[in-house]
Amino acid sequence: MLTNVTKLLEETTNQAATTSSGAGSIEAGLVAVGAGIAMIGAFGSAIGQGYAGGKTIEAISRNPESEAKVRKMFIIAAGITESAAIYCLVISLLIFFLGRR
């Protein structure tokens, strides 16, 4: 699948480079692709948060007395995993807005 994506990107860039107005559009397109690739890192964070949430519910259902402690640890863990998604978003926005200079 990755080879198909790279082949498609290569064909698109070659086609845009051969057109007369392709110089500006190819740069904008590649910046958008780079910003989209930077956001792929957010998927890992979402999967991790979902898994941690499921395990938190499982732990609370097994031992309801430890709910406060487990909830506190989950909130800390969710904040740590969410920071990775926020970093991906910031990098994506930087690429998108500063990449067109």
For residue range 57-92, what is the model confidence (pLDDT) as tens digits? 999 999 999 999 999 999 999 999 999 899 989 988
pLDDT confidence bin for 55, thresholds 50/70/90: very high
Closest CA to 36 of 9, 57, 16, 59: 9
Average pLDDT, the chain: 83
Scanning 1-101, the segments in alpha helix (DSSP H) are 2-18, 22-38, 41-62, 67-98
Closest CA to 2 of 40, 48, 32, 43: 40
Please, what CATH class does the domain formed by 40-101 belong to?
mainly alpha
**What predicted TM-score, i.e. pTM, was given to this entire model?**
0.62
Structural domain spans, the chain: 40-101
Q: Name, in order, each residue with C-beta under 8 angstroms of 81's C-beta and a sequence gap of 6 or more.
A: 45, 48, 49, 52
Q: What is the mean pLDDT of residues 39-43?
A: 86
Tokens of residue 85, six digits: 């998604």
